[in-house]
A and B are shown apart, each in its own frame.
Chain A
Amino acid sequence: MPDLATHLATAYLAGRFVKLRRLAAVFYLGVLLPDLVSRPIHIVFPSTFWMAQSFHSPVVVFLFCWLISLFFRADQRRPVFLALGAGSLLHFLFDLTQRHLVAGYLWFFPFSLERYSIGWIKPDDYVRWLPLTLLVTVSVFLAGRLMTGKGGLKPGMERRAGGSLPGGRPRSEQV
């Protein structure tokens, strides 16, 4: 698997194309979810490799997304589920690019135990490229802030710096 920072960076960049707004946090949770529900089990109990692998499959992660969404208020369950699912799908697509020495992931568990991977990139290479990934992500973040005007001083602050009153009126208007 790529590291979670790389997964989160892809989620942030993908999220720039859609207006996530308040769903951003659950979308980011979704992009980490397949690893969050599987890796700790494997790290703590190495002999449970296949259980961990089964949790890192679309069907089981779909169930996790559904379960998590049910903890939310009724009117928010569907959007939360969709955000979690979209994030998880992005995670799986990114994992598909990995090159493993042995096999890949259980894409069709529990219907098939065949493992698939495109095999383009070694998992360690994602960590090697992480500084570049973060640089690109931070650059996109800062560019977005500048373009939307959130990076600079607010108009009111500018006027105040030029000698206005706390209320925003220029000093000349002072009675």
Chain B
Amino acid sequence: MFSDRLRVLKMIVIAGLIVVLGWWAHRSVRDPVWVDYLARPEKYHGRTVTVAREARIVSVDSTRLVVTQPEGNIELLVPPGFELPSLPPGRDVSALAVFDRDGFFTLEAISASPFRKWKIVVSLLTALAVVLFLFFSIRVGKGGLALKE
């Protein structure tokens, strides 16, 4: 597993396997998204759609919420009595909405991510710090990388 025997071939095969698994997941695993619901309204009537993965609020009021998605902007109706938290435009949210065959989505649940930008900045700085630590902990030598004593 770790010997020098066929080392380069092992590296190529592992890298290839990673690419194949990622590609397979990308091609074969696909939840229907809201545009699929609109394309086949009878099939998806009453089903819950996930409006997640860091959707950004475009506009919001007490009756409707518009958020961005990779396929375009989606409008979610806020049902009467739904307690919508204070969410300014630009805020990242995840949401669940129920689809109606008439072509509208009604908000069912929502979760805000007010610290997402901070999370990205802090994570980038941390990654940079670890890369620097690695740079000072590893040297290039005969037979590959080597940890410094």
- A interface, CB within 8 angstroms of B: 3-5, 7-8, 22-26, 28-29, 32, 35-36, 39, 42-43, 46-51, 53-55, 59-60, 63-64, 66-67, 69-74, 76-78, 80-81, 100-102, 109-110, 113, 122-124, 126-128, 130
Q: Compute how far the CA of A70 lies from the CA of B9 in the bound complex, rounded to whole angstroms.
A: 11
Does any Cβ of A come within 8 Å of B39's Cβ? no
Known contacts A8-B126, A66-B1, A67-B11; is-contact A22 B148 (Cβ 8 Å): yes
Q: Compute how far the CA of A8 lies from the CA of B122 in the bound complex, rounded to whole angstroms.
A: 11
Question: B111: shortest Cβ distance to chain A, in Å?
Answer: 4
Q: Compute how far the CA of A124 lies from the CA of B91 in the bound complex, rounded to whole angstroms.
A: 13
- In contact, B122 and A4 (Cβ under 8 angstroms): yes
- Which 10 interchain pairs have the tightest Cβ spacing? A54-B25, A25-B137, A77-B2, A127-B115, A4-B123, A51-B26, A4-B126, A51-B22, A101-B94, A101-B111
**15 other contacts beyond A29-B130, A59-B21, with CB at 8 A cut-off?**
A25-B137, A25-B147, A36-B127, A55-B18, A60-B21, A64-B18, A67-B18, A71-B144, A72-B146, A101-B50, A101-B94, A102-B96, A110-B24, A122-B111, A124-B116
- In contact, B137 and A3 (Cβ under 8 angstroms): no
Known contacts A4-B123, A26-B134; is-contact A46 B70 (Cβ 8 Å): yes
- B interface, CB within 8 angstroms of A: 1-4, 7, 10-11, 14-15, 17-18, 21-26, 29-30, 50, 52-54, 70, 94-96, 109-116, 118-120, 122-123, 125-127, 129-130, 133-134, 136-138, 141-149
Tell me which of A3, A28, A73 has the highest count of chain B C-beta atoms within 10 A of its own C-beta: A3
Q: Compute how far the CA of A123 lies from the CA of B63 in the bound complex, rounded to whole angstroms.
A: 28
Which residues of chain B have C-beta atoms less than 8 A from A130's C-beta? 122
Tell me which of B54, B113, B122 has the highest count of chain A C-beta atoms within 10 A of its own C-beta: B122
Which residues of chain B have C-beta atoms less than 8 A from A3's C-beta? 118-119, 122-123, 126
Known contacts A25-B133, A101-B52; is-contact A124 B115 (Cβ 8 Å): yes
Which residues of chain B have C-beta atoms less than 8 A from A69's C-beta? 2
Which residues of chain B have C-beta atoms less than 8 A from A8's C-beta? 126, 129-130
Which residues of chain A have C-beta atoms less than 8 A from B148's C-beta? 22
Tell me which of A28, A50, A78 has the highest count of chain B C-beta atoms within 10 A of its own C-beta: A50
Which residues of chain B have C-beta atoms less than 8 A from A47's C-beta? 70
Q: Compute how far the CA of A114 lies from the CA of B139 in the bound complex, rounded to whole angstroms.
A: 41
